[in-house]
Chains A and B, each alone.
Chain A
Amino acid sequence: MIKTTLWIFGGILLGLIIHLTLILSLPQIVPNNVWSIFAKIGAPGELITIAKPKQQEANILRLDPELAYAVCRFDLSIGPGIINGKLPNDFWSVGVFDKNGVAIYSTTNRSGGGSSLDIGIFNPAQTRLLAEQKIELESGILIVKVPRDEVFIVIRLAVPHPAMWQRYKETLEKLHCSHVGQNQ
Chain B
Amino acid sequence: MNKFTPNFLAFIFTALFVGLGLSYYSLADGRFIGAYHIGSWATWANAGAPNPDPYTKAFVSLGTTLQLGRSEGVQFVAQRDEGGELLLRECNYSIIGNAPPASFWTLRALAPDGHSITPLNATQSMNSKRLSRSNNGVATINIGSKLSPQNWLEIEGEGYFEVNLTLYDASVLSGFGGTINTMPIIKNKGCS
Which one, B17, B52, B61, B116, contacts A59 given CB within 8 A? B116
Do the beta carbons of B65 and A15 come within 8 Å of each other?
A: no
Tell which of B71, B119, B125 touches A65, judged by Cβ atoms closer than 8 Å. Answer: B125
Say which size band chain B's interface belongs to.
Answer: 35 or more
**Are the CB atoms of B72 and A95 closer together than 8 Å?**
yes
- How many positions in chain A have a CB within 8 Å of any CB in the partner chain? 59
> How far, in angstroms, from A16 to B12 measured CA to CA in the complex?
12
| CB-based contact B48/A103 at 8 Å | yes
Residues of A within 8 A of B10 (CB): 4, 7-8, 11
Residue of B16, B57, B61 with most chain A CB atoms under a 10 A cut-off? B61
Bound together, the chains give a CA A95 to CA B49 distance in angstroms of 11
Question: Interface readout for A11-37 with B: 1 if CB under 8 Å, 0 if not?
Answer: 110111111001110110010111001
Residue from B50, B54, B122 in contact with A105 in the complex, judged by beta carbons closer than 8 Å: B50
* Closest B residue by C-beta to A54: B116
Establish whether residues A3 and B60, one from each chain, have CB atoms under 8 Å apart when the complex forms.
Answer: no
Question: By the criterion CB–CB under 8 Å, are B15 and A15 in contact?
Answer: yes
Do A32 and B61 touch across chains, with their CB atoms under 8 A apart? yes
Tell me how far the C-beta of A117 lies from the nearest C-beta in chain B, rounded to whole angstroms: 14
With A7-B7, A11-B10, A65-B124 as given contacts, are A19 and B169 in contact (CB-CB < 8 Å)? no
Which positions in B face A, CB cutoff 8 Å?
Answer: 3, 6-8, 10-20, 22-23, 26-27, 47-50, 52, 54-55, 57-58, 60-73, 103-104, 106, 108, 110, 113-122, 124-125, 127, 129, 164, 166, 168-169
